[in-house]
Amino acid sequence: MDNAKLTPVSQLGEFGLIDLLTKDISVKNPTTVMGIGDDAAVIKATGKKRYLISTDLLLEGVHFDITYTPLKHLGYKAAVVNFSDMAAMNALPKQIVMGIGLSSKYTVEALEELYAGIKKACDVYGVDFVGGDTTSSAFGMHISVTVIGEATEDKIVYRSGAKPNDLVCVTGDLGGAYMGLMLLEREKKVFKANPDMQPELEGNDYVLGRQLKPEARTDMVRAFEKAKLLPTSMIDISDGLASEALHIAKSSGVALTIVEEKIPIAQNTFDLAKEFQLIPSVTALNGGEDYELLFTVDQKDYEKVKQMDDVTIVGYVTDASEGNRLITPDNHSIELKAQGWDALKREAQ
Which residues are near a second copy by CB under 8 A?
14-15, 33-34, 37-47, 49-57, 59-63, 85-86, 88-89, 91, 95, 97-101, 130-133, 135-140, 142, 144, 146-149, 151, 156, 158-160, 235-236, 250-251, 340
Residue placing its CB nearer to a second copy in the complex, 65 or 219: 65
Residue placing its CB nearer to a second copy in the complex, 99 or 323: 99
b (16+ CB within 10 A) / e for 30-44: ebbeebbeeeebebe
Q: How far is the CB of 74 from a second copy (least distance, A)?
A: 16
Residue placing its CB nearer to a second copy in the complex, 7 or 137: 137
User: In 10 A of CB 237, how many CB atoms?
Assistant: 27
Cα–Cα dist 7/108, whole Å = 6
- Type of residue found at 250: K
Residue placing its CB nearer to a second copy in the complex, 134 or 165: 134
Residue placing its CB nearer to a second copy in the complex, 186 or 250: 250
Q: How far is the CB of 69 from a second copy (least distance, A)?
A: 15
Residues with Cβ within 8 Å of 340's Cβ and at least 6 positions away in sequence, in order, are: 239, 240, 243, 286, 288
Residue placing its CB nearer to a second copy in the complex, 107 or 144: 144
Q: How far is the CB of 232 from a second copy (least distance, A)?
A: 14
- Type of residue found at 154: D
Instruction: For residue 301, give the nearest of 170, 166, 171, 172 by alpha carbon.
Output: 166
First to last CA, the chain: 33
Q: How far is the CB of 277 from a second copy (least distance, A)?
A: 27
Strand partners, 136: 102
Cα–Cα dist 181/187, whole Å = 10
Q: How far is the CB of 308 from a second copy (least distance, A)?
A: 21
Cα–Cα dist 266/203, whole Å = 13
Within 13 A of 12's CA, how many CA atoms are on the CB side?
18
Q: How far is the CB of 119 from a second copy (least distance, A)?
A: 17
Q: Are 68 and 187 in contact (CB under 8 A)?
A: yes
Q: How far is the CB of 345 from a second copy (least distance, A)?
A: 12
Residue placing its CB nearer to a second copy in the complex, 92 or 297: 92
